Amino acid sequence: MSYADYKWIYGHGGGQRKSDRDAKYDKYGDREVMEAEIEKEAIMLCNAKKLEKIMGYKGYFEFLNIEYPSPVYFEGMLYASASHAYHAAKSTDEVVRRRISKMSMIEDLNNTKKSSLITTIVEPEDWKLRRLGVMETVNRDKFRRNKELREKLLATQGRELVNVVPLEHDSEDSLFWGVIKNQGQNQLGRILENIRKDAILNKELEKWVCCNFRLQTDRKAIPIVKFDVYKGGSVLEKIELEGRSYFVFGSREETADIVMLHPSISRTHALLVIDCDSNVILIDPGSKAGTLVDEVPISNNMPYILKKDQKIKFGQSTREYQISIDYSKSLNFFEQEKSKLEKDLKILENLEGEDLDLDTLQKSLGLNKNDTVWVGNLLPSIKEDELREIFEECGKIKSIRIPEDYNTKQGKGFAFITFSDDKGAKSALSRDGIPLYKKFLKVSIAENKPELESRSRKGFREESKERRRRRRRSDSRERRRRNPRRRDSFDTYDDYKRKKYRRDRKRKRSYSDKSSSSSKSHGSRRRDKSSDSSNIEH
Diameter over CA atoms, the chain: 144
Q: What DSSP character marks residue 424?
A: H
Confidence tier at 437 by pLDDT (50, 70, 90): confident
Dist CA 439 CA 310 (whole Å):
31
Is pLDDT of 513 > 90?
A: no
Chain mean pLDDT for the chain? 78
pLDDT at 92: 86
Tell me the C-alpha distance between 261 and 165, whole Å: 50
**Gap between the Cα atoms of 395 and 429, Å rounded:** 12
* Among the listed residues 194, 192, 169, the one whose alpha carbon sits nearest the alpha carbon of residue 181: 169
Cα separation values, 18 from 21, 24, 220, 320, 409, Å:
5, 10, 49, 31, 57
- Please tell me the distance from the alpha carbon of residue 258 to that of residue 248, in angstroms, as a whole number: 6
Please say whether the beta carbons of 450 and 221 come within 8 A.
Answer: no
What is the pLDDT, as a whole number, of residue 220?
A: 85
Model confidence at 143: pLDDT above 60: yes
pLDDT of 354 reads: 55
Least confident of 291-300, 439-448, 508-517: 508-517
E-strand ranges in 99-163 read 160-162
Between 518 and 20, whose confidence is greater? 518
Reported confidence tier of residue 59, pLDDT bands at 50, 70, 90 = confident
What is the model's pLDDT at position 104?
A: 75
pLDDT digits (tens, 9 = 90+) for 273-296: 999 888 999 999 989 899 999 999
Helix (H, G, I), strand (E, B) or coil at 386: helix
> Which of the four pLDDT bands, split at 50, 70 and 90, describes residue 106?
low
Residue 449 reports pLDDT greater than 50: no
* pTM, 2 dp: 0.59
Q: Does residue 359 have a pLDDT over 90?
A: no
Question: For the residues 337-362, what does the mean pLDDT come to?
Answer: 68
Q: What angle do the packed helices 127-145 and 147-155 form, to 10 degrees?
A: 100
Which stretch of DSSP H or E encloses residue 492?
Answer: none
Residue 215 and residue 444 in contact, taking contact as beta carbons nearer than 8 Å: no
Per-residue pLDDT averaged across 168-190, rounded?
88
* 204-212 helix and 127-145 helix, angle to the nearest 10 degrees: 130
SS (H, E, C) 170-196: CCHHHHHHCEECCECCCHHHHHHHHHH
